[in-house]
Every structure is written in structure tokens, then in C-alpha cells.
């Protein structure tokens, strides 16, 4: 007979004192009167200064996790969230915190990571560079069709009006992989995204199109991607889980007639178990199959598979900061321009952005399709001093590669959230460029990597940049200079 699980307690009048990792708030609580010292409790959707009652969900030796069941006294900084789905869909977890405070918390997050995790000496961390637009800033949104609509407890218990419709087009609910939240309005992208998504949803319901069943791996409608650009172009990408040509073409023909703003419509037939389209063929139904975004006097071609920073306006601030830290500004007329390596180059955005101020830029990226995009982006901008190579970074960036292509003066690295492989860091240390600019979307793994680089390098400049308002995510740009050259 299984042992009955011990019920965890409700703790009343807890004061939230700070913000922790992953955007959660924190408090220090004695779970029992007999406890000698309080433990740290992580609480989502809290604001520093709140006084709340919390239910403990998980208890570990040195910390606990809880959720708010009542706000007894709201924090002076707490504001009313704009979105009706706040606290349910899992995104925009800081809508209840004023934007100025979000920027301050992100700065603190960077400083804490570099000091506590990295344990390295750093200069003063400046305030986070904020986003000009804190709503409607995303240039890419991805939605999921599902035949299992998420229902709230209030709906299930009959406390609110219950819909008999089980199909949904929206976002996956955190912790419920097979449930999707039906949404009517999301404020992260221009309203054209809401209009297209809601139109497709109603069209599918009225014509009994089947929505995807993730457990059974069946259903015609699977995912929807919408990508607008600042220059006015608009891509829609539909993924189908089955092949029914008549229904597919009927839907796509109707979409392009109803939304003349769409400049290209592409689709994928994905019959495999996961939603990734990276290994799938992209079929063009309308337009060239890509959109183009402008950044300064450059333009970048974006396909359905392309990576491009999802906040276009902030992306220019990010690349401008990286170029300044690298000293790649105003070198156009110089004869002795530096050789630059751009590691994890993606679609070559940074590489092409800094190329005019470099003698040559060597870009390396794991994803072959991204390298194809990088080469196209050089070509359409008439940039002739870039070279791009595809492959796993630790396999490509080796001593013989450096010997063949030259020792870089500057390295720009922009790795994924997991950071850099130790073998890559070893090669960087052996190569010893005078300057490294480290662009990171995860200050924790950045701090770990900076600790390893501290053998030869010192952090001389830091700049956090907010790419995703109302979330805890923050980009951080760090300049490292070789210690010997600083003396």
C-alpha cells in the first residue's frame, strides 16, 4: 500500500522581498514554528513588497516552491496586468511589474550571475537598455492547433459559462503538453497577427477541419507561424499534420484573399511526432517564400526556418552595442582593419552588420540552412568580405582551421542558452584574440564561460539589453580584453 503523501502547508502573511531566477519572486519563510532559520521560497507572479498567503507546492532541503492563493497587501509597485490570460498562458510573467522596475530587475539579474556564479571582477553594470516598444514588438509568433482546449477549474466546476468547443488555436499551457489555451488577443505582435489567427480559427471550425491531436499524431491543422517586418512584409506559415490537398488549398486561398497584407504564404506537411520544421520541406503557396527586414542600410532575408532576433528594433541596439564593444565602428577607410571571427553566427546578421569595418569576417554556425541564409544576406547587401562555415562549433573551430583562415584579432560569440562547449573555450584561449565580445541570452551560462576565460581575459565593459519586455529574459553583451595587452 502506497504511503500517503504529506500535505504541504499554507503560510499566511508572507512578505515577498525580491526577484529570483526564471522571473519568480522570493521570500524567506519558516515553514514550521520549530524551524530555527527560514528557507528561501520561490513564488511565481509575486512582486517585491507584496504581503501574500502562499501554498507550498514543493519542499526541498534548502528551498521550497509555492504559489500565491491570496494577496493581502499588494506591493506599491504592483500594477494591473494588461492581458486577460496573465498567469495562465505562461508568457509575459512580469506584466504586473512596471517596465522601469523590470529593467532594474534585469540589471540585477546580470550582476548577480556574473558576481555570484562567475565570481569574477567586473566593472559597474549599467542600467538595462530598454525597448522602445513594450507591446507589439515581436516579429515572430508561433501558435498551436489542438483538439484539447485547456479549461480553467472555474469552467470545469461550472462557476463560469462553459464552452462546448474543445478545439483551440493558441499557446501550450506550461506543465500540460497536450493542452492549448484558446486566445482571442495577444499584445506581443501587431494586431494583424490576432486578426489572421482568429480568422483561421473560425474558418476551421465552420468547415469541420480537424485540429491536431498530439497523443494520436493526427489532425490536419498543426501549427501557425506569423512573421511581420518593420518594412511592411508579412509571412504566414501553416503546418499540416495530414495531407488533404483540397482542404489545404481552400484554406490558403481564402487566407490570401482575406488578407492582402500577406506577401508570402508557405506551408509544411509534418507527419512526424515533434513540431520542429527544421528538417521539413517548405512549400511556397504565395510570393517568394521569404520576407526581408531592414536594419540600418542593410537588409536581411528571412525564411520560415531562419533565425532572426524577434524584436527587430532592439536587435539593432544589440548589434550596435556588439560593434562598439569590438571597436568595429568608423573603420571604413582604414587599411589595417581587423580579422573577425563570428562564432554561432546564425543567419550571419552580426557578421554582415560589422563586415564593412573588418578586413574579413569568418562566420561559423551549426545549422546548415542558417549558413545558406548568411551567404544570401551577404550577397543581397553586396558584402564580399565574409565567409561562412557550417558544422558543430567544437568540431570546426580547431587549430588547423585557425591556421588556414588566420588568427582573429576579434572574436564575437553569440552561443545558445547552454553557452559554449569547453573545447571551444580551450581553442579560444589558445587562439588568444585581443578582444572577445560575448553576446548572451543566458547570463548564468555566460558567467560560467567567463570564469573559464578569466585565465587570460578581463571583463572591461558590460551592457544588458532588454529584448523581451514583460518577461525575465535579458540579453547581455560583455567585452573581454586580453590581460597582457591591458598591462
- The answer to whether the Cα torsion of 235, 239, 240, 245 is positive or negative is positive
What's the confidence (pLDDT) of residue 4? 57
Cα–Cα distance measured from residue 344 to residue 396, given in angstroms and rounded to the nearest whole number: 11
- State yes or no: is 237 an active-site residue: no
Cα–Cα distance measured from residue 429 to residue 407, given in angstroms and rounded to the nearest whole number: 12
Q: Which residue, among 372, 414, 365, has the nearest Cα to 391 in the 3D structure? A: 365
Enumerate residues 6+ apart whose C-beta is below 8 A from 38.
28, 29, 30
- What is the distance in angstroms between the CA of the first residue and the CA of the last residue of the chain? 70
At 31, the pLDDT band (50, 70, 90 cuts) reads confident
Q: For residue range 239-291, what is the model confidence (pLDDT) as tens digits?
A: 999 999 999 999 999 999 999 999 999 999 999 999 999 999 999 999 999 99
- The answer to whether the Cα torsion of 111, 410, 372, 296 is positive or negative is positive
φ/ψ of residue 450, rounded to 5: -65, -30
What's the confidence (pLDDT) of residue 44? 94
Are 385 and 359 within 8 A, CB to CB? Answer: yes
What's the confidence (pLDDT) of residue 174? 85
Beta bridge partners of 182: 170
* Region 7-22 average pLDDT: 90
The secondary structure of 4-39, three-state, reads CCCCCCEEEEEECCEECHHHCEEEEECCCCCCCCCE
Q: For residue range 134-173, what is the model confidence (pLDDT) as tens digits?
A: 999 999 999 999 999 998 766 765 556 666 789 999 999 9
DSSP annotation string for 138-163: BS-EEEEEESSB---HHHHTTSSPPP
What's the confidence (pLDDT) of residue 369? 87
Give the pairing of strands 51-59 and 39-43: unpaired
Cα–Cα distance measured from residue 124 to residue 460, given in angstroms and rounded to the nearest whole number: 9
Enumerate residues 6+ apart whose C-beta is below 8 A from 483.
456, 457, 458
Choice among 89, 92, 186, 441 that is catalytic = 441
Q: For residue range 322-347, what is the model confidence (pLDDT) as tens digits?
A: 999 999 976 665 668 999 999 999 99
Q: What is the average pLDDT value for the chain, to the nearest integer?
A: 93
pLDDT exceeds cutoff 90 at 40? yes
* Region 357-377 average pLDDT: 94
* pTM value surpassing 0.85: yes
Amino acid at each position: 500500500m502506497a504511503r500517503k503523501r504529506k500535505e504541504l502547508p499554507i503560510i499566511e502573511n508572507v512578505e515577498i522581498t525580491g526577484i529570483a531566477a526564471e522571473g519568480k519572486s522570493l521570500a524567506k519563510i519558516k515553514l514550521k514554528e520549530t524551524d530555527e532559520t527560514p528557507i528561501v521560497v520561490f513564488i511565481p507572479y509575486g512582486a517585491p513588497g507584496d504581503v501574500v498567503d502562499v501554498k507550498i507546492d514543493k519542499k526541498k532541503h534548502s528551498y521550497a516552491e509555492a504559489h500565491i492563493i491570496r494577496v493581502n497587501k499588494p506591493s506599491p509597485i504592483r500594477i494591473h496586468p494588461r492581458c486577460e490570460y496573465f498567469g495562465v498562458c505562461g508568457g509575459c510573467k512580469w506584466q504586473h511589474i512596471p517596465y522601469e522596475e523590470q529593467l532594474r530587475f534585469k540589471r540585477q539579474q546580470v550582476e548577480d550571475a556574473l558576481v555570484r556564479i562567475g565570481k569574477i571582477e567586473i566593472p559597474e553594470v549599467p542600467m538595462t537598455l530598454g525597448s522602445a516598444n513594450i507591446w507589439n514588438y515581436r516579429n515572430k509568433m508561433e501558435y498551436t492547433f489542438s483538439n484539447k482546449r485547456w479549461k480553467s477549474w472555474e469552467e470545469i466546476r461550472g462557476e463560469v459559462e462553459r464552452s462546448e468547443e474543445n478545439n483551440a488555436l493558441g499557446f501550450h499551457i506550461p506543465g500540460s503538453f497536450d493542452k492549448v489555451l484558446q486566445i482571442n488577443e495577444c499584445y506581443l505582435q501587431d494586431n494583424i497577427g490576432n486578426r489572421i489567427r482568429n480568422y483561421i480559427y473560425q474558418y476551421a471550425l465552420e468547415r469541420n477541419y480537424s485540429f491536431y491531436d498530439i497523443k494520436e499524431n493526427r489532425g490536419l491543422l498543426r501549427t501557425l507561424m506569423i512573421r511581420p517586418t518593420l518594412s511592411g512584409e508579412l509571412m504566414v506559415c501553416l503546418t499540416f499534420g495530414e495531407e488533404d490537398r483540397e482542404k489545404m488549398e481552400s484554406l490558403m486561398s481564402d487566407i490570401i484573399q482575406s488578407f492582402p497584407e500577406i506577401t508570402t504564404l508557405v506551408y509544411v506537411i509534418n507527419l512526424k511526432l515533434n513540431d520542429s520544421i527544421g528538417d521539413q520541406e517548405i512549400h511556397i503557396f504565395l510570393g517568394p517564400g521569404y520576407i526581408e527586414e531592414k536594419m540600418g542600410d542593410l537588409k536581411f532575408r528571412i525564411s520560415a526556418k531562419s533565425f532572426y532576433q524577434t524584436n527587430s528594433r532592439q536587435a539593432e541596439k544589440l548589434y550596435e552595442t556588439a560593434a562598439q564593444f569590438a571597436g568595429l565602428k568608423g573603420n571604413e577607410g582604414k587599411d589595417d582593419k581587423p580579422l573577425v571571427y563570428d562564432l554561432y553566427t546564425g543567419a550571419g546578421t552580426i557578421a554582415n552588420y560589422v563586415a564593412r569595418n573588418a578586413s574579413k569576417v569568418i562566420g561559423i554556425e551549426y545549422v546548415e540552412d542558417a549558413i545558406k541564409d548568411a551567404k544570401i544576406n551577404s550577397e543581397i547587401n553586396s558584402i564580399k568580405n565574409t565567409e561562412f562555415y557550417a558544422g558543430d562549433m567544437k568540431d570546426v573551430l580547431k587549430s588547423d582551421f585557425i591556421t588556414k583562415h588566420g588568427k582573429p584579432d576579434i572574436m564575437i560569440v553569440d552561443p545558445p542558452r547552454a553557452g559554449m562547449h569547453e573545447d571551444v573555450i580551450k581553442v579560444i584561449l589558445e587562439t588568444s584574440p585581443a578582444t572577445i565580445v560575448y553576446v548572451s541570452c543566458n547570463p548564468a551560462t555566460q558567467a560560467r564561460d567567463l570564469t573559464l576565460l578569466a585565465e587570460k581575459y578581463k571583463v572591461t565593459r558590460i551592457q544588458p539589453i532588454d529584448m523581451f519586455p514583460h518577461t525575465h529574459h535579458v540579453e547581455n553583451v560583455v567585452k573581454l580584453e586580453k590581460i597582457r595587452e591591458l598591462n
